[in-house]
Amino acid sequence: MNFLEERICRDGVVKEGNVLKVDQFLNHQMDTALFKQMGEEFQKRFAGKNINKILTIEASGIGIACVVAMYFDVPVVFAKKSKSINIEGDMYIAEVESFTHKCKNQVIVSKKYLGPDDHVLIIDDFLANGCALQGLISIVNQAGGTVEGIGIAIEKGFQSGGRVIRNLGYQLESLAIVEGMDASTGAITFREQNTCN
Amino acid sequence: MNFLEERICRDGVVKEGNVLKVDQFLNHQMDTALFKQMGEEFQKRFAGKNINKILTIEASGIGIACVVAMYFDVPVVFAKKSKSINIEGDMYIAEVESFTHKCKNQVIVSKKYLGPDDHVLIIDDFLANGCALQGLISIVNQAGGTVEGIGIAIEKGFQSGGRVIRNLGYQLESLAIVEGMDASTGAITFREQNTCN
């Protein structure tokens, strides 16, 4: 198991309904030492890529993205979730359906901060059905930029989001891919047959 | 002028109604090299303080907090904005009124991640009327923890938030304190009589 899989086993909590709670270290309390390890790992996996910007989405993607950005020496842009139609200036807009909150949101990025010259690494904490990620890819495409890669902390491999994105030819790197969870025992199975309790 | 005041002069935009737009480097696009300078400066200003946790609030506080946290070797906890009453588990809750969005939000932090042993540095991007900051202080107090200090990127010195917090005896360090802005000329005046166009 790698460092993130080990941490998920130690501090993640499996709940009914295929819910994995990782708020001890990833998306409420944030372990920045762990984020540094993630930055080092993404730096290896995207070595040789010409990346000049990181794109993420609020809220919990921002912390990871900012620490990872220090390994690439690039700025971060975060897409804002907004139901408002009263947005100042020109914006790229994508519709995103939230798995957790069961609602549709618009996500927006100012046209000032993404354009045809941008070579973008997309970073997010979770990938499940892939709606948020599809929205971010759509925004880079609207800008005429290039998606150089996608770095995810935890992918739910039993949902379709990751497969679709890989089928489309993107380099998608998930540091931990959960293949299955059992809320009654707390067992988590990772892709590559690593299992822990 | 210090590094942040210089950056505000270069890339900040003054709008009518005492609005200072800094989304080029602080709260939409995020310049993580600048955030590192902020981390170094806060490390100096809070040297000798016994800090074991950083508390911030979503969304734009998170990036700064995570980079600053690397200079203190501590985890970050971010308060979540929520209108939901269906929150799992025990939470500290504070009411926060938003100056920008003119609405009331609850901000919540899980009781799991803040307690009596915590010595907290509060980090945020903006301080104006101080409502968000008061909510964060309230949450630390509810937890029985200690506010060791408060680090802000940009304070609007002509609003009352900072004065109230300093009157209460907290060590509040704002890297740039804007005393006045003129939307017609773009002029910004900082505390200590530094002025730029």
- Nearest CA distance, B31 vs chain A (angstrom): 5
Output phi, psi for B2, to 5 deg.
-85, 180
Residue-level pLDDT at A87: 57
Residue B59 preceded by cis peptide, ω within 30: yes
One DSSP character per residue, B123-175 reads EEEEESS-HHHHHHHHHHHHTT-EEEEEEEEEEETTSSHHHHHHHTT--EEEE
- Nearest CA distance, A61 vs chain B (angstrom): 9
A110: confidence class by pLDDT, cuts 50, 70, 90: very high
Give percent above pLDDT 90 in chain A. 87
Q: Does residue A76 come out as left (phi exceeding 0), alpha (psi in the -120 to 50 range) or beta? A: beta
Angle between the N-to-C axes of helices B32-45 and B60-72, in degrees from 0 to 180, rounded to the nearest 10: 50
Which of B19, B25, B28, B108 best probes binding to A when mutated, by most A CB atoms within 10 angstroms?
Answer: B28
Residues A3 and A44: their CA atoms lie apart, in Å, by 15
Which helix or strand (DSSP H or E) is residue A176 part of?
strand A172-182
- Nearest CA distance, B179 vs chain A (angstrom): 25
For the stretch A67-96, pLDDT in tens is: 999 999 999 999 998 865 555 679 999 998
Residues B98 and B83: their CA atoms lie apart, in Å, by 13
Q: What is the ipTM of this complex?
A: 0.92
Query: With an 8 Å Cβ cutoff, are B113 and A80 in contact?
Result: no
Pairing of strands B172-182, A76-82: unpaired
Residues B179 and B157: their CA atoms lie apart, in Å, by 5
Query: With an 8 Å Cβ cutoff, are B29 and A62 in contact?
Result: no
Task: Please report residues of A whose CB lies closer than 8 A to that of B12.
Answer: none
The residues of A whose Cβ lies within 8 A of any Cβ of B are 23-25, 28-33, 35-36, 58-60, 62-67, 69-70, 73-78, 80, 109-110, 112-113
Positions in chain B short of pLDDT 70 = 83-88, 98-103, 193-197
Q: What's the whole-number mean pLDDT along residues A149-171? A: 97
pTM attached to this predicted model: 0.94
- Nearest CA distance, B81 vs chain A (angstrom): 10
Residues B150 and B142: their CA atoms lie apart, in Å, by 17
For the stretch B22-55, pLDDT in tens is: 999 999 999 999 999 999 999 999 999 999 999 9
Query: With an 8 Å Cβ cutoff, are B24 and A113 in contact?
Result: yes
